[in-house]
Amino acid sequence: MAGVAVSTTINGDNFEYLCQPDETLLDVLRDRLGLTGAKEGCGTGDCGACSIILDDRLVCSCLVLGAEAEGRRVETIEGMAHGDTLHPLQQKFLEHAALQCGICTPGFLIAAKDLLAKNPDPTEEEIRFGLAGNLCRCTGYDKIVRAVQDAASVMKGA
Amino acid sequence: MRYIRPLSIEDAAGLLAGSTGTAAILAGGSDLLVRMKGGFIEPDLIVDIKAIEGLSEIRETSEGFSIGAAVPCAVLGESKALKKAWPGVVEAANLIGSKQVQGRCTIVGNLCNASPAADSVPALVAAGARAVVVGPAGRRTIAVESVPTGPGKTSLAKGEIIEAILLDKRHPHSGDAYLRFIPRTEMDIAVVSAGVNLTLDEQGRVKSARLALGAVAPTVILVEEAAEVLNGSKLDEATLERLAKVCSGACRPIDDKRGTVEFRRKVAGVLAKRAAITAYKRAGGK
């Protein structure tokens, strides 16, 4: 079966790939392009582990077809740090130990980045609602919320 | 399976009309891809409608709003004009799923998925919203409540696509509201829901009313007796009690793991009252 030819931008770089028409963008990122930061948790849009930003919108990449990325802008966790310099959210997740097993972490970081881009000074409640599409079974969320609050104050001062 | 991204609505309708196997329309994909993953549907053809001009826009015209079929619900919440005119519709649309799902899901998808518990549908029905349908026979405009015919089933014929949802321009002294009951604080499926839309006269009496209930029948239902109860009133206590009674009586719910028949009936009345009070306040009533 012939694939769909797709030309897209991922983390600022141009990518071209062939994918099957029913292949998700998550599978394309992980299995064809080697970008394994986005994780597959549920595969049905419930857990947020596969979160990416598509044309400035936070989405689950398991609910996007690879073919849909044609001509669009994709941001993944791999584009978050600049070389060896971590994004403030990444730094604060480390400092606050806002992770244990780490499977949910790339999704939380992307969702938190999107949240702070739209609301640089969120309340605790806004953070909890904003990150409700990301599930974590280790931390109990409190450390994640504190890391995001701390990152927000650092980013505001920057 | 074929994936096609047509550039016109007529081409999209033609592809669907000419398909021999299972064809599916893709806008946000938040229902379709889940059903594909679960093996509930194996489309031979997917028609992605997002490249069709105008389908990703909210247009404000002299007659009101036209919301394109591919507009994600998150965009509804970012439209100040729409939020001001139809806060109930926007709050309902913004209750669907997480931030991630909001970035993709659409009200037309919510309508055509035809769940009786669809959050945006009672609000749209209460608002008197209409759907613009394009198909092999041309273009027609129908009431939103005539689209779902039962769980997962719609009245749309083969080859027909909803192009946009139309909402009227607001009369002065109007307000709408949507409420749902869920056992959690967010991200859940409505056990019962209610949408109310009111227009008041200069004295603050209800001039016209529409009330719709969700998750209490095979489709979202428009409760016409509710309008009769509300008309001419200022939502005094006796009126609200009668409203709750007719709404509970209009329910034809099922027992399931999320709620019993008795619970759904009772909560339908409570939510109808509360949504009516909010809509009344939004319309400027005191």
Mean pLDDT of B93-102: 96
Residue B187, Cβ density class (10 Å: 0-12 exposed, 13-18 middle, ≥19 buried): middle
Rounded to a whole number, what is the distance in Å from the CA of A100 to chain B's nearest CA?
23
Q: B13-58, pLDDT tens digit by residue?
A: 999 999 999 999 999 999 999 999 999 999 999 999 999 999 999 9
**Where do we find the tokens 């005119």?**
B85
Helix B237-250 to helix B261-282 angle, to the nearest 10 degrees?
A: 140
Q: Is residue B117 very low, low, confident or very high in pLDDT (cuts 50, 70, 90)?
A: very high
Mean pLDDT of B166-193: 94
In eight-state DSSP terms, residue B213 is E
Residue A158 has pLDDT above 90, yes or no: no
Q: A94-107, pLDDT tens digit by residue?
A: 999 999 999 999 99
All structural domains of chain A, each given as residue ranges with its CATH number in brackets, are: 4-79 (3.10.20.30), 88-157 (1.10.150.120)
What are the b/e assignments for A26-49, b being 16+ CB within 10 Å?
A: bbbbbebbebebbbbbebebbbbb
All structural domains of chain B, each given as residue ranges with its CATH number in brackets, are: 2-50+57-168 (3.30.465.10), 174-282 (3.30.390.50)
Phi, psi of B65 (to 5 degrees): -120, 145
Q: Considering only the beta carbons, identify the residue of B33, B50, B99 that sits closest to A63.
A: B33
Residue B102 has pLDDT above 60, yes or no: yes
Q: Which uninterrupted H or E stretch holds B269?
A: helix B261-282
Residue A1 has pLDDT above 60, yes or no: no
pTM for this predicted structure: 0.96
Q: How far is CA B120 from CA B117, B129, B253, in A?
A: 9, 11, 19
Task: Round the average pLDDT of chain B to a whole number and report it.
Answer: 97
Note whether B182 contacts A: Cβ–Cβ < 8 A: no
Q: How many residues does chain B have?
A: 286
SS3 B207: strand
Q: A96-147, pLDDT tens digit by residue?
A: 999 999 999 999 999 999 999 999 999 999 999 999 999 999 999 999 999 9
Q: Considering only the beta carbons, identify the residue of A57, A63, A68 that sits closest to B74.
A: A57
pLDDT at B286: 87
- Can you read off the two tokens belonging to residue B46? 């997917």
Here the ipTM equals 0.95
pLDDT at A142: 97
Q: Considering only the beta carbons, identify the residue of A4, A22, A129 that sits closest to B186.
A: A129
Note whether B252 contacts A: Cβ–Cβ < 8 A: no
Measured between beta carbons, the chain A residues lying within 8 angstroms of B36 are: 22
